[in-house]
């Protein structure tokens, strides 16, 4: 038990997760605190939606978009590094580089006149944006596999499929993961702003609070979003360490 507690206090992922869970589930218990801090407010706690439901919707939007982007972006990155797709490599690189200069919030906004309001258009906009870093890093990761390694694998009798799954993708995994991380960080933040385009997320208390001059709502939403970001960051750190653990020197 003592070991468990010390792990909890020194491990950013575990500590962050506990704080996140406490904030999501225990926000109503903080009502007296917010009431004392903002005595002028009639409603010191956001109660129009439950924070758990908002958090789950937020994760569904950001996580769903990131997952679809991993599948599509990974497939595209693999395709353009194979002989049959090499011709598309240049234009894909250019689009990925150019597209990432577009601010995510502007992409989200532009998608509304084209796709409409609601969670589904927001999901499409987040997915498209998330594709860019994933494609870029998948290509970079696969390209970084040294040619002699490929030769050796072919020499051992591996076909193109085995080469990809057992040699190239494992070697490229840390670079691909960095792209997934970028996409996930951007999507987590953009999903919060997506509550302005009709998706119910943790951004909703923030937007409602800002529009209605209720700083308590703003802080409640912001605390949970920030805790979510810290937990996700720690989680990706853990994942990245696991992916590179087998390498000599851990690098």
- The residue from 113, 146, 249, 250 that contacts another protein (CB under 8 A) is 113
- Name the DSSP letter for residue 100: T
- Name the DSSP letter for residue 246: T
- The residue from 233, 239, 243, 244 that contacts another protein (CB under 8 A) is 233
5 binds another protein (CB under 8 A): no
CA 76 to chain centre: 19
Window 203 to 222, contacts with another protein (CB under 8 A): 203, 206-207, 209-211, 215, 218-219, 221-222
193 binds another protein (CB under 8 A): yes
Give the integer Cα–Cα distance in Å for 239 and 146: 24
96 binds another protein (CB under 8 A): no
User: Phi and psi (nearest 5°) for 20?
Assistant: -60, -50
C-beta atoms surrounding 105 within 10 Å: 13
83 binds another protein (CB under 8 A): no
- The residue from 104, 154, 158, 243 that contacts another protein (CB under 8 A) is 104
Place of tokens 């694998």: 153
The two three-digit tokens of residue 26, written as one number: 């225990």
185 binds another protein (CB under 8 A): yes
The two three-digit tokens of residue 245, written as one number: 């653990």
180 binds another protein (CB under 8 A): no
> Do the Cβ atoms of 81 and 157 come closer than 8 Å?
no
| Site residues, another protein (CB under 8 A) | 87-88, 90-91, 94-95, 98, 101-107, 109-110, 112-114, 117, 185, 188-190, 192-193, 196-197, 203, 206-207, 209-211, 215, 218-219, 221-223, 225-226, 229-230, 232-233
């Amino acid at each position: 038990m003592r070991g468990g507690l010390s792990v909890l206090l020194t491990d950013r992922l575990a500590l962050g997760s506990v704080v996140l869970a406490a904030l999501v589930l225990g926000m109503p218990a903080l009502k007296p605190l917010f009431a004392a801090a903002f005595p002028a407010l009639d409603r010191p706690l956001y109660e129009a939606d439950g924070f758990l439901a908002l958090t789950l919707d937020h994760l569904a939007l950001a996580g769903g978009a990131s997952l679809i982007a991993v599948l599509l972006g990974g497939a595209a990155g693999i395709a353009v590094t194979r002989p049959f797709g090499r011709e598309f490599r240049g234009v894909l690189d250019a689009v990925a580089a150019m597209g990432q200069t577009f601010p995510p919030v502007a992409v989200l906004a532009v998608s509304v006149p084209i796709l409409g309001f609601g969670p589904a258009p927001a999901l499409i906009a987040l997915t498209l944006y998330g594709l860019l870093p994933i494609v870029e890093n998948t290509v970079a990761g696969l390209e970084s596999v040294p040619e002699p390694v490929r030769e050796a694998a072919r020499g051992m009798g591996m076909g193109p499929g085995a080469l990809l799954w057992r040699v190239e993708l494992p070697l490229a995994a840390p670079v691909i993961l960095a792209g997934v991380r970028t996409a996930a960080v951007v999507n987590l933040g953009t999903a919060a702003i997506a509550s302005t385009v009709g998706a119910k997320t943790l951004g909703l208390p923030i937007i409602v609070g800002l529009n209605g001059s209720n700083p308590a709502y703003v802080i409640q939403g912001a605390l949970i979003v920030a805790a979510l970001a810290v937990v996700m960051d720690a989680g990706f750190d853990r994942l990245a360490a696991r992916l590179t653990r087998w390498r000599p020197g851990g690098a």
